[in-house]
Structures are given as C-alpha cells and as structure tokens.
Amino acid sequence: MQLTNEGIKNKTAWESKGYKLPSYDREKVTANTKANPSWIHFGAGNIFRAFQANAVEKLLEDGTMDTGLIVAEGYDYEIIEKYNRPCDNLSILATLKADGTVEKTVIGSIVEACILDEENKAEIERLREIFRAPSLQMVSFTITEKGYKTRAYMNKVVGLILERYKAGALPISIVSMDNCSHNGDKLKEAVVEIANEWVADGKCEKGFVDYVENPKVVAFPLSMIDKITPRPDDTVKKMLEADGVEGTEPIVTSKNTYVSNFVNAEETEYLVIEDLFPNGRPSLEKAGIIFTDRETVDKTEKMKVCTCLNPLHTALAIFGCLLGYKTIHDEMDDETLKKLVTTLGKEEGMKVVVDPKVLSPQEFLDAVLTKRLPNPFMPDTPQRIACDTSQKLPIRFGETIKAYRASHTLSTDSLRVIPVVLAGYLRYLEGIDDEGNPFEQSPDPLLDELKALSPKDVLKRKDVFGVDLYEDSLAKRVLEIHSEMVGKGNVRRELEKL
C-alpha cells in the first residue's frame, strides 16, 4: 500500500483495512486550484495536516468546495522535498479517539506544495503567481509565535504581499492560526513594521503601507485554535505497517523536524476565527470552524487559557514532574490528580469563567477531563508542558485570582486547589521529587533566577503570578502548604489530604 496517486488506485487494499479514501475527482480539484487558488497556508506541519487540511477534505467530499489547499514551507524545505512531493501531497490522518479506536483517513485536499525560497527562481515565481491571483481569499499560518519574529521568514512573506499590491491592491485575509494570544495583531505588527522600513529604504511606495493597514482590503483576523497533534507516534506507525502501508518511517530533517506520511491527532478540535474576509472565504463553518466577532474570539481564548484547559495542564505538569510521571494520560489514572484537576476546573475556575457563548465552557471542560487528558494515544508529557511555567502562571492562575478579588460574592479564601498548585510550583523549583531524588526541571527563562530566591521571595514576584499574592491571605497559605510538602512523600500526602 503506497501513499501516492497511483498507490491509492488500489482501493480494495486500502478500504479493506478501514481507510477512507478521497471520493472526489482529485485531478480536477488540482486543476481548479492551479487556475483559481483560494487558500494558501504557510507551515507544512502536523497541526495543518490534521486540522485545516481535514476541514477542506470534508468540504471537497460534500461538494461545498471545488478547489484544494496549497501549502508553503519557509523554514524547513526538506518537509516538501522528502515528504510532500514523493507522496503526491497525500497524507494519512490517524484520529486517536479516547475510547481507544483509530479512524484512518487518506487526506487529498493538499494539492500543491511550494517552497518559500527566494534563491530558487521557479519556486518563488510560482508563489508570486498565486499571490497575484484575484481568486485568492486567504493566506494562513501555523509557523509558531517565533515565526512572526523571524525577520528572514517575514521578509519573504511581505515580499509576496507586495506582489498582490502591485497586481492591483487586491483584497486578502491574512490569518494567523497559531496558538498564541492576539495572533492576528502580532502578524499584522510584523508585516506593517517591514512595510514601513521598505518605504523608508525606497524599496516600495507609501501606498503599500496604506494597503496593509487598511482592514477593508487587507485583514488580519484574530483566531483561537486548539488541537493536540504530537509527533508521529511509534504505536500508530506499527499499526499502519501491519496494515501494509509503506513509507511510514518518520524522516528527521536536518532541522530536526519529525515528519512522516501519517499524522496522529486527538479527535477534539476547535478553531474560532474573527470573520474579516475582504475577498470572501470558503464555507468552513460547514466543517465545524466557527466565525464570529473579535470580542468573541478573545473570550474563547480566555475561556481556554484561564479556565478550561491550560490551568489543568500546568497543574498536571508540576505534580507530574514531582511524582515521577512520564505521560499526562497516566496522571489521569491517578484518582488524586484526576480529582485535583476536576475540582480546579469545575469548582474554582467555572465560577469566574468567561463564557464566549459560541462554545459552551462546561462542554469544553468535560471534553478536556473525559476525552482529551485521559486519551491513552496522546503521549504528551508533564515535562514538555512544564516548559516556561513562570511565563504561563500569570494568565493561567493570576486571572482567576483577579476575578475572585473583583467579585462581590467570591473570596480567594475559598480557593483550595490554586494555593496547592502554587505551593507545588515552589516545591518544583527545588528540583527534588517526592521520592527525594533530583530531577531536571524543564527550560524556563526565569528558572535560575527563581531557584536562587527563598519561597517567600518567589511569591513576591508579581511578574510570575500576575498579582500581588500578599494582598490577601494567599501568600501565607501557599507558604504553609509548601512547608508541609517538604520531605519525602509529603507532596503525595498533601494532595491526598486536599
């Protein structure tokens, strides 16, 4: 079973093993896309293949769309050269369900793969041609927050937007789909800064800055994305190999990207986008993507980051490191930790949750607790989630503390779990686990600085907690709990006591 245009013609072999194959005319879709491209995406990584490409797949299957996706890679060209093109841009999506079943789909919606390399004349000319197309409605990105700060990458992107300006200042929506706060604003900031510099250097006319700053012509919507797509998993690889699929061995590029002809991902996914599309957009709401106003996107992000997912992740990360766990799903088999995060979300967080209305906070939280965190197929680790904890605490816990303090009916005196998590963080900073063994803390820009302080002084850091913990009884309670956690077995004892 070869994942190529020719290979999937052997329908019986694939379908007998439970794979869903594209039923639309992929050749026709490819020709339509070449003639009238509507959506190009930058960042050929796993989340794009598991989420955006699957959304378009659904719309091609039901006849809503007749053009596919073009993907461009501007950081790691080997992804395109070693995976996309040899596989004719086909991909296997293994959706890992919480009940232990796997749904296997061959995704054919990506019909062209480009390399964002200005040194390569043929590659860059094709991209310029796409950007000059009046039919182009959306340019999207999953290049991580760092990508918008990478000048070399953004210069190339702005060069392509300039092509669209020169072709008649054509309308376009430029959409960051990266998992960072106010992503559209960050992307716009990077584009406008470069455009202004180019005008100052005489590289382009002032009209270009006016073009990228006019939201009626060039829009930079906000979005909130949520889907876990780990690197290709060995268990899934073995399962596909047993089916007879060839070429599943992951390629590790020289830039250390892990890529295979399959991508594994959880079933739960959310994408909420500010509905700003000056040139129109595909009907992605039919594939479950939510379009709404700016304020609502902001609220969905707050719901997720301050209450329904991220605080639970951080609590599991801290105690996972202290209790010697290697996966998040194993922690959810620990009744004490499961109760800890359930109480954190359902009791403490839900009282002050921001309700965006387009998504139910209760349903979102239930999916996190019953489907996402316990999913045995999701090999996420507490050690990975513990990275940069000092940068995450202000939004993940500080906002809830602020909301309790601002309320006329609530008091931080009623918080039981949050003080325990913060005490756990002080204990984590010591680098000694609950068995008394040293462990390596995850990378964090403030790690060395905070480790050198006493617990009392760490709690004085408003930049770490987002609030002054000494304003009420919180700091005193956190210090008391922390003192009880010191010594072998005492972290577990404190959690069980709670």
- Enumerate residues 6+ apart whose C-beta is below 8 A from 397: 311, 314, 418, 421, 422, 465, 466
Are 277 and 39 a contacting pair, CB within 8 Å? no
Q: Name the average pLDDT for the chain.
A: 96
Structure tokens at 145: 């927050």
∠ at Cα 73 (69, 79), nearest 5°? 100
Burial of residue 416 (number of CB atoms within 10 Å: 0-12, 13-18, 19+): middle
Task: Tell me the sheet residues that pair with 318.
Answer: none
Question: Region 330-350: what's the mean pLDDT?
Answer: 98
Task: Report the share of the chain in percent with pLDDT over 70.
Answer: 100
Query: Residue type at 122?
Result: A
17: pLDDT strictly greater than 90: yes
CA 395 to chain centre: 17
Are 110 and 49 a contacting pair, CB within 8 Å? yes
Are 399 and 466 a contacting pair, CB within 8 Å? yes
- Can you give the pLDDT at residue 81? 95
Are 100 and 137 a contacting pair, CB within 8 Å? no
Sequence-distant contacts of 329-335: CB under 8 A, at least 24 apart: 329/373, 329/374, 329/375, 329/376, 329/378, 329/379, 329/380, 331/373, 331/382, 332/373, 332/374, 333/374
pTM for this prediction: 0.90
- Can you give the pLDDT at residue 309? 96
- Can you give the pLDDT at residue 98? 75
Q: Angle formed by the axes of helices 474-485 and 417-429, to 10°?
A: 60
Residue with tokens 């959506």: 39
377: pLDDT strictly greater than 80: no
What pLDDT, in 10s, does the model give residues 261-291? Answer: 999 998 899 999 999 999 999 999 999 999 9
Spatial separation of the C-alpha atoms in residues 456 and 79, rounded to whole Å? 48
Question: Region 180-209: what's the mean pLDDT?
Answer: 96
- Residue 297's pLDDT band, with cuts at 50, 70 and 90, is very high
The alpha-helical segments, DSSP class H, found in 349-469 are: 361-367, 382-385, 389-393, 399-406, 417-429, 447-451, 455-458, 462-465
Structure tokens at 107: 């995704």
What pLDDT, in 10s, does the model give residues 388-417? Answer: 999 999 999 999 999 999 999 999 999 999
164: pLDDT strictly greater than 90: yes
**Closest to 177 (Cα-Cα) out of 47, 80, 49, 283:** 47
- Residue predicted with more confidence, 417 or 180: 417
484: pLDDT strictly greater than 90: yes
What pLDDT, in 10s, does the model give residues 138-161? Answer: 999 999 888 999 999 999 999 999
- Can you give the pLDDT at residue 232? 84
378: pLDDT strictly greater than 80: no
Strands 262-266 and 223-226: unpaired
In degrees rounded to 5, what are phi and psi of residue 474?
A: -60, -50
Strands 262-266 and 218-219: unpaired
What pLDDT, in 10s, does the model give residues 236-260? Answer: 999 999 999 999 998 889 998 888 9
- Can you give the pLDDT at residue 211? 98
Could you tell me if residue 37 is left (phi over 0), alpha (psi between -120 and 50 degrees) or otherwise beta? beta
What pLDDT, in 10s, does the model give residues 466-481? Answer: 999 999 999 999 999 9
Task: Tell me the sheet residues that pair with 218.
Answer: 172
What pLDDT, in 10s, does the model give residues 105-145? Answer: 999 999 999 999 999 999 999 999 999 999 999 999 999 88
